[in-house]
Structure 1
Amino acid sequence: MLAEELAAIAAAGAGALVQAAGTDAWTGIRDRVSHLFGREQEQRTSESLDLTLTALEHANPSSELAQVRARQAVYWQVRFEDLLNSLAAEQQQLAVVQLREVIEGMRQSGSPSDHLSISGDVSVRATHGSVAGVLLTGDIHIENPLQPGSERG
């Protein structure tokens, strides 16, 4: 499997995992991910997953949560990439299937694995002939910034 494909599945798995934290889907995702890493790493992985959950639960939603989610997603993406790259081709294919099942499990659980709540700036760019897009749904609140020197009334 190409490195780009492995990176993409690792990123998707990491995103699904971070989005699952604190939801009804967490226990199932936690168990599947621990199993994915195998018996030798199962305990360490379970402990890392517990630390991820704790970090996300204790992050201040208004000031820290986005950064903590991003850090945890990067951490798990690297863990997934390292795992996938360490496996022989046949084992790697099986692990990719299992990771895709984790991602699909999140989608089917109704958890927002493919949704993102953003507080702050959003920038969407397409480069090198690619296409980018954003679908906005639900409540969207846009406030105009204050003009320099004006006071909020």
Structure 2
Amino acid sequence: MLAEAMTALAAAGGTAVVQAAGTDVWTGFRQGVAGWFGRGGNAQRESAELERLDRTASALEAASPDQVERMRLRQEASWEAWFIAFLEGLDEVQREQAVGELRALLGQDAPQADVSAVQGGVAVGRDVNVTAEQGSIAAAVLHGGATIGTPSRPDPSQG
């Protein structure tokens, strides 16, 4: 497997762990990740990973509002490195099997939709994270197409 593809998958794994922490899917996802690391039979390894996952969730929950983003990035990077180290420790056959299982766990085994955009547009075939910093506002929920343009200025009488 190409190193870039493995690194991208590990990064997706790190992001998925952080995004799932504290949500309704956390319990099942956390069990799936621990089972993946335990390779379906190493109960001691699974238990250790469950503890590691719980520490991640606790760290994210305990982060102050001004530290949340930094903590998220730190945890994503830590999990990315952990996924890479684990994959690199497997022989080639085990690695290929583990990669397929990780893709399935992350929902990346489904066929990707074709996407396209006109000049100056953005096309995305997977998730998009929208964030804002320092008093800015950002929000996005899309279930289909979208058009983005320059917003109109409010009437001065509206304040």
TM-score by length of 2: 0.67
* CA displacement 1:51-107 (0-9 Å, x = unmatched): 00001111123x0110000000001000000011111111111111121122118x9
Aligned residue in 1 for 2:73: 70
> Distance between the aligned counterparts of 1:91 and 1:67, measured in 2?
34
Instruction: Map 1:33-44; keep pairs closer than 5 Å.
Output: 33-38=33-38, 39=42, 40-44=44-48
> Distance between the aligned counterparts of 2:140 and 2:47, measured in 1?
39
Matched, 1:53 2:66: no
Within the candidate set 99, 104, 126, 1:101 is matched to 104
Instruction: Report which of the two structures shows the higher radius of gyration computed on alpha carbons.
Output: 2
Within the candidate set 132, 145, 151, 1:119 is matched to 132
TM-score by length of 1: 0.70
* Structure 1 residue ranges (4+ consecutive) displaced by more than 6 angstroms after TM superposition: none
Matched, 1:83 2:86: yes
Aligned residue in 2 for 1:8: 8
Q: Tell me, what secondary structure is at the counterpart of 1:92? A: helix
Higher relative contact order (CA 8 A, sep 6+): 1
> Distance between the aligned counterparts of 2:26 and 2:5, measured in 1?
25
Percent of counterpart pairs with the same letter?
Answer: 40
Instruction: Map 1:132-143; keep pairs closer than 5 Å.
Output: 137-138=140-141
* CA RMSD, 1 decimal: 2.5
> Distance between the aligned counterparts of 1:27 and 1:98, measured in 2?
18
Q: Tell me, what secondary structure is at the counterpart of 2:140? A: coil
Q: Unpaired runs of 5+ in structure 1? A: 108-112, 122-135, 139-153
> Distance between the aligned counterparts of 1:57 and 1:77, measured in 2?
20
> Distance between the aligned counterparts of 1:77 and 1:91, measured in 2?
19
Q: Unpaired runs of 5+ in structure 2? A: 111-125, 142-159
Say how many residue pairs are matched.
119
> Distance between the aligned counterparts of 2:45 and 2:84, measured in 1?
15
For residue 114 of structure 1, report the CA deviation from its aligned partner.
2.5
For residue 14 of structure 1, report the CA deviation from its aligned partner.
0.8
Q: Tell me, what secondary structure is at the counterpart of 1:37? A: helix
